């Protein structure tokens, strides 16, 4: 899986790329992340990539020429042109089904904006998929791009060990509920004890407790998840 990140601030990614799970995936050749500085495609001697908006108003707008030419040049670097994603608060909101869909691509280009936004012609020429990571405004698309890479690589075969398969994640696969409460050692801390059932070794009872805990949490915290789509029927449901 290859990601190409197009940004004015490639250095922001350095620390993130060196962290454990992603670094391991990169070292194993499962994931590749290439950073591209949009400024390298600026045409003038001051390397201008942004300008004041026509019609007035605050802030600066990302210019059309360096951005479009950067995307086109990066696309040509591989026989697979890749799926172009523009990070913007105006895009469709990222959720796990969207992450699952993105993970089907072999190559994704992530176009990060800054300032007050993109010159509209960037959208008109490149026709990207526009994605937002939530209804709040970030200073730029870089953190959103990292969120997408982080969520997508969990679904790339081989990136997670068998032990921590993404199938059990909240929102993923069959699971549309929030994840159940987890505990590790010690068994007791400041009077708070690990629920007895989790120490019982009875896998059926543990599974039932987790299912119920998951359901309760979803009901208390995110009742909208029940409304969106009914939980899928399990083999157990079908047998009854
Ligand atoms: N750029 C600025 N805010 C953003 C958001 N919420 N999601 C994606 N990109 C952004």
The per-residue pLDDT of the chain, averaged, comes to 91
Residues 34 and 131 in one domain: yes
Cβ 137 under 6 angstroms from ligand 1: yes
Which residue reads 């390298």 in tokens?
40
Q: Whose CA is nearest to atom 10 of ligand 1?
A: 88
pLDDT at residue 161, as a whole number: 79
3-state secondary structure of 62: strand
Residues contacting 197, CB < 8 A, separation 6+? 205, 206, 209
pLDDT at residue 56, as a whole number: 95
| Ligand 1 centroid, distance to 240 Cα (angstroms) | 46
Residues 175 and 199 in one domain: yes
Give the CATH number, domain containing residue 171.
1.10.1270.20
Atom of ligand 1 nearest to the CA of 133: 7
Give the CATH number, domain containing residue 95.
3.40.1280.10
Residues 122 and 177 in one domain: no
Residues 45 and 137 in one domain: yes
| Ligand 1 centroid, distance to 129 Cα (angstroms) | 13
188-189 and 192-193 strand pairing: antiparallel
Which pLDDT tens digit goes with each residue over 1-59?
A: 999 999 999 999 999 999 889 999 999 999 999 999 999 999 899 999 999 999 999 99
Residues 67 and 122 in one domain: yes
Which pLDDT tens digit goes with each residue over 123-177?
A: 999 999 999 999 999 999 999 999 999 999 999 999 997 656 676 676 765 567 8
What range does the domain containing 178 cover? Answer: 167-225
| Ligand 1 centroid, distance to 113 Cα (angstroms) | 8
Which backbone phi and psi does 69 adopt, to 5 degrees?
-70, -35
Retrieve residue 104's tokens.
């089907």
Cβ 109 under 6 angstroms from ligand 1: no
Residues 117 and 212 in one domain: no
pLDDT at residue 20, as a whole number: 81
């Amino acid at each position: 899986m290859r990601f190409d990140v197009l940004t004015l601030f490639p250095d922001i990614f350095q620390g993130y790329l060196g962290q454990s799970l992603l670094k391991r995936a990169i070292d194993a050749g499962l994931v590749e992340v290439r950073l591209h500085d949009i400024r390298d495609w600026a045409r003038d001697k001051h390397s201008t990539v942004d300008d004041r908006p026509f019609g007035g108003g605050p802030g600066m707008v990302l210019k059309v020429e360096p951005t479009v030419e950067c995307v086109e040049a990066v696309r040509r670097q591989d026989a697979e042109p890749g799926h172009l994603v523009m990070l913007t608060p105006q895009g469709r909101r990222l959720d796990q089904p969207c992450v699952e869909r993105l993970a089907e691509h072999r190559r994704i280009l992530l176009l990060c904006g800054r300032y007050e936004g993109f010159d509209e012609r960037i959208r008109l020429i490149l026709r990207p998929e526009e994605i937002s990571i939530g209804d709040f405004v970030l200073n730029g698309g870089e953190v959103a791009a990292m969120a997408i890479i982080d969520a997508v690589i969990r679904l790339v075969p081989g990136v997670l060990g068998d032990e921590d398969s993404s199938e059990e994640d909240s929102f993923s696969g069959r699971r549309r509920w929030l994840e159940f409460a987890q505990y590790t050692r010690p068994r007791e801390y400041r009077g708070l004890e690990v629920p007895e059932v989790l120490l019982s070794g009875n896998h059926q009872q543990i599974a039932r407790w987790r299912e119920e805990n998951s359901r309760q949490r979803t009901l208390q915290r995110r009742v909208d998840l029940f409304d969106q789509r009914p939980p899928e029927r399990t083999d157990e449901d079908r047998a009854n």
